[in-house]
Amino acid sequence: MDQQLTELHVSNDAKNDPEELRRRIDDEGYLFFKQLLNPSNLLELRKQILTTLQEGGWLIAGTDPMDGIADVTKKCTEGDRKYTDVYHKVQKLEALHRSGHWPETLDMIEKIMDRPAMPFPHQVVRLWFPKYTEYTTPIHQDFVHFQGHFENLTVWAPIGDCPIELGGLAVIPGSHKIGKVLEHHFALGAGGLNIRVEEEATRHPEIASGWHTTNYEVGDALIFPALTIHKALPNVTEDRMRSSLDNRYNPIGEPIAEHMLLPHLDNGGELTWEKIYEDWQFDDLKYFWRNYDNPLVPQNTDFYSKGFSDAVNLARAGATHAIMRLKTIIKNDPDTPNGVIAKEVLKDIGRLD
C-alpha cells in the first residue's frame, strides 16, 4: 500500500450546501474545513489545558505554557496511572466540555446528518509527548471504541497549530465504504487496537488509496464517520506536546453506547461527573444528555478482549511491545482478571519484575 501522504480535500466551498456535504462525506468518508472553529475559543482552551499540564509537571517550568514545551522525562500515555493523575484535572475544565456544544460545530454536524444531533458527554483530549512514538495512536475505526451505531460523527481538531511533524490525524479516503468493522489487533497507543491495513487492502481495494492529512492550523476541523480508517502521525518534534480535541455526535433518537455517558478514562468510576462539575461556574450543561431520548446499548468489550488475547500470545512469543503492555496492566490493575493473567504469562516467560 502506498504510504505517501496526500493533502486533505478542503470543503469550505460547500459549507452552506448540506446536500453537497453529504455527497462528499459519503464519497470520501471525511470532510475537512479550514477555520470551521473559532480560533480564539481554541486558544483559550489551549491555555487552560496546557497550564494544567504545566502545573502537573508535564511542561518545562518557567516556559510559556502556550508553547507546549514538554519535559520528556515525564512522558507517559493513556493507561498509565501517572497519566490519569494529570488528565483527570484536564477533564474537570468546564471549557473543555463546552467545546462539544460550540454552535459552529453543532450546526455543521446537523447539516451533515440532516437531523438534530447530541454531543457525546464522553469528552476526549489527546495529549502526546514527543520522543514517545511507539505509543502513537494506531490505525483503527472509531466504532470499536465508541460504538452505538455507524452514523456517529467525530470532529477532530488540533488545540493549536499542528504541523505534520507534531502528529496530526490522517485518514484513508473512502475506507468507510467497506461498510463493516474490520478485524483489529493488539497495538500500543491510544485504544490499544490496530488494523493491519496492508493485509486488509488485499481483500478491500478501497482502502489501498493512501493517507490524507495536512499541516493543521488552529480552527481547522476534520469530520468523519465511525467506519473511516484513520491514525495519528507520530510526534517527531524535539520537545513539543501535541494536543487535540475529539468531539463526537449522535443523531438524536439513535442508539448510544452506555460507556459514552461516562467521563473519558474514568478508571472504573474513580472520576465521576460530580467530581468534574465541582468547580464549574454554570449549571446549564450538567447532565445535559438526560434531556435527549437516545436508546442505550451495552458496551461490546469483545474488541478489547481480543486485543488482550493478542497481547498475551505475542508476549509468550517474546514481542517487546506486548510485554510492555502486560507490565503496564500489572502496574495499574494487578488484581483484575487481566492483571492476574498478565502476571502468570510474564512469570512463565521469565519477565516478571
Q: Which residue ranges form the domains of the chain, and what is each CATH number?
A: 5-298 (2.60.120.620), 301-353 (no CATH)
Confidence class for position 1, pLDDT limits 50, 70, 90: very low
Stretch 324-348: mean pLDDT: 94
The Cα–Cα gap between 29 and 145 comes to: 18
Confidence class for position 2, pLDDT limits 50, 70, 90: very low
Out of 41-45, 80-84, 172-176, 307-311, least confident range: 80-84
Confidence class for position 3, pLDDT limits 50, 70, 90: low
Confidence class for position 348, pLDDT limits 50, 70, 90: very high
Query: pTM of the full predicted structure?
Result: 0.96
Per-residue pLDDT tens over the stretch 75-130: 999 989 899 999 999 999 999 999 999 999 999 999 999 999 999 999 999 999 99
Per-residue pLDDT tens over the stretch 260-276: 999 999 988 999 999 99
Stretch 174-192: mean pLDDT: 95
